[in-house]
Structure 1
Amino acid sequence: MVDIIRFKELGRFYNKVDIEEVLHGNKISNFSAHEENFIEIQIDKDCRFLADAQLKLLCLCHHLVNQGADLSLVFLGGKCRCFTFMDRCGFLLHLPTSVTVTPTKPSSREAASIRFQGQSVNLHEIRAVDPVVSRNNRPIPGQMTDALSELLKTDCEKFLTDIQTVICEFCDNVSQHSQSQSPGFVYMHHYPTTQKIYIVIADVGVGLLNSLRQGLQERNDIFKDSSDETLLLEMFNNGLSRKNDQRGSGLNRMAEIAIKYNGSLHLRLDKCLVDLTPVGNEFASAHFKPCADMAGTHISFSFEVPKI
């Protein structure tokens, strides 16, 4: 028997909510209980995915394979616009090697994301983030910021430094919290119609709060028994680390930049979705919503292109 996850054409982009509705409807947390996990993800011809939804889909593929699934990805429209876009942005290149793709899965030498690298004015290809050797990730923030500078035709040092800080903290978050051998991913995309930029980081590790709680319990920190909301607000507003070394201030700097550029922060944790709401110069509340179980952490930062 094959379990099918179907993404139907919506007439608009799949966003962070739409993809969760599909995953929740398919109860993906139950797949690992099957004796044989044959799962087919079907994507309709005219499907389109916003950057944060696309990385959620990529991490779903890694999660299911890590759970022992025999996974296939089927583009029902063949080499349609959706297929070619996912090829160009690096989605297909970064799938687990065991995943089969219909109509075809490009080899690394054939991947369009390599052939077209840096040639699109809006698209910045998905980059793999090393979860173990953090120094391997050092080029990523500079490369993506350079691409953004070219895209926006700006050399505003303060703005570009702020965005580079966000990407750097995103990458550090993977190596600090994922505790996984599977790669994380970072993706940036500009949407000219809405003048919005998405910067998204995701991994399939143990989860941000799980990692944090582990460290807090080990050192008997005053926040060790705090609620998820308290931990997140403390982490983003004041800085809170799994190690007692001030490294938790990184997410705090990222939050300050998000607020500065009227941005929004969306998190997908292993069992819930969180949208952080800014009030003044800090995040005053966190809205939680249950979601289908999936390993890892997903952080999406979206903001309008500033008038520079």
Structure 2
Amino acid sequence: MTFDVPSGCKIMVEAAIRFLSLANQLAATTRRVRMKFEEGDTGTMGYLNRMGFFDHLAAEVEVLPSRPGYSAAEAHRGGNAALVEIARISKDERDEELPTRLTAALMRSCHTRPDAAELEGAAWTIFAELIDNVFSHSSTVLDGYAALQVYPKGDRLSVAVSDSGLGIMQTLRPTIGKEFPRLTDLSDTQLLVEIFRQGLSRHGPDRGCGLKGSAAKAIKFQAVLDVRLPRQRVVLIPARGAYKVNTADCYDGLPLMWGTHIGFGFRLGG
């Protein structure tokens, strides 16, 4: 499989770590994967190198015209206040400081918001819960990833957390009949909204509070929630203090990508 990255292509942080996860998934299933960057390291490849993309890309993936000769992320790590380079989320080597680094980067860019002090505590909780969710539920030998990027021209900060595990629906659907029988007939989109509204979990009604709590805090700060599932993508936009089905943009029938890939978008100025 060949991915062609044309001249002028701009990849946002959410897409970057989803691209990374997909390539590593394909490589893990022994598929031949090739990435072709038309502009070489002067274009998108250079940006991905600065983010640390190639530090985590499976060695089996072929990169054209060639892999970067050095890691720009390692050379300049921490030098850009608007970026938290791609961080690995591994069950074998937990990075306890990752939620703090993400929160610090968010606050450097959002400190002018009138609710900045409250946002700081909420953001740390959101990041910690999402990262912990990868450890607790992903059931995969592949690493997960997290990254953050500020887009001043768009008045937006995006943070993304990605894992290559079974995915929310794959773990929850088999238990719906027993744990939440009244939700059996919901569509995947409707069920996804309820996961974030009610805190649903395959382990029962008292075990899914992490995602519910993260969503509640994100809603309070008007954050847009972008969730990519194996064959779906749902973008949830806050409306009247909640995420609702009728305010969601839904995309079905997407190319298969295992796992749960979550992005939050915050406005810099509130």
Per the TM superposition, whether the score is higher than 0.5 is yes
Amino acid at match of 2:107: S
Amino acid at match of 1:213: R
Residue 147 of structure 1, aligned match among 95, 105, 116 = 105
Could you say what secondary structure the match of 1:136 adopts?
coil
Could you say what secondary structure the match of 1:193 adopts?
helix
Could you say what secondary structure the match of 1:306 adopts?
coil
Residue 238 of structure 1, aligned match among 198, 202, 209 = 198
- Going from structure 1 to structure 2, the CA distance change for 1:302 and 1:71 (only over 3 Å counts) comes to same
Work out whether 1:84 is the aligned partner of 2:42. no
Amino acid at match of 1:267: V
Work out whether 1:304 is the aligned partner of 2:263. no
Amino acid at match of 2:50: R
Could you say what secondary structure the match of 2:235 adopts?
strand
Shift of 1:255: 1.3
- Going from structure 1 to structure 2, the CA distance change for 1:41 and 1:249 (only over 3 Å counts) comes to same
User: Which of 236-245 and 165-174 deviates more?
Assistant: 236-245
- Going from structure 1 to structure 2, the CA distance change for 1:180 and 1:60 (only over 3 Å counts) comes to same
Shift of 1:221: 4.1
- Tell me how far apart the structure 2 counterparts of residues 257 and 274 of structure 1 sit (CA, whole Å): 19
Work out whether 1:74 is the aligned partner of 2:36. yes
Q: Equivalent residue for 1:63?
A: 25
- Tell me how far apart the structure 1 counterparts of residues 136 and 159 of structure 2 sit (CA, whole Å): 19
- Moved >3 Å (runs of 4+): 150-157, 214-217
Residue 115 of structure 1, aligned match among 71, 75, 81 = 75
- Identify unmatched segments of 5+ residues in structure 1: 1-38
Shift of 1:198: 0.6
Cα root mean square deviation, aligned: 2.3
- Going from structure 1 to structure 2, the CA distance change for 1:223 and 1:114 (only over 3 Å counts) comes to farther
- Tell me how far apart the structure 1 counterparts of residues 163 and 241 of structure 2 sit (CA, whole Å): 28
Which string of whole-angstrom CA distances, capped at 9 and with x for unpartnered residues, describes residues 176-200 of structure 1?
2321110111111100101101111
Amino acid at match of 1:251: L
- Going from structure 1 to structure 2, the CA distance change for 1:182 and 1:224 (only over 3 Å counts) comes to farther
Tell me, yes or no, if the aligned pair for 2:138 and 2:163 is still in contact at 8 Å. yes
Q: State how many pairs are aligned.
A: 264
Could you say what secondary structure the match of 2:41 adopts?
coil
Q: Equivalent residue for 2:149?
A: 189
Work out whether 1:295 is the aligned partner of 2:254. no
Residue 270 of structure 1, aligned match among 210, 227, 230 = 230
Could you say what secondary structure the match of 2:184 adopts?
coil
Shift of 1:279: 2.8
Which has more strand, going by share of residues?
1
User: Which of 257-266 and 243-252 deviates more?
Assistant: 243-252
- Going from structure 1 to structure 2, the CA distance change for 1:273 and 1:153 (only over 3 Å counts) comes to closer
Work out whether 1:54 is the aligned partner of 2:19. no
Amino acid at match of 2:3: I
Identical-pair percentage: 28
Shift of 1:249: 1.0
Amino acid at match of 1:124: V
- Tell me how far apart the structure 1 counterparts of residues 218 and 249 of structure 2 sit (CA, whole Å): 17
- Tell me how far apart the structure 2 counterparts of residues 79 and 45 of structure 1 sit (CA, whole Å): 11
Could you say what secondary structure the match of 1:197 adopts?
strand
Superposed, 1:29-44 pairs within 5 Å as 39-44=1-6
Shift of 1:94: 1.3
For normalisation by structure 1, the TM-score amounts to 0.78
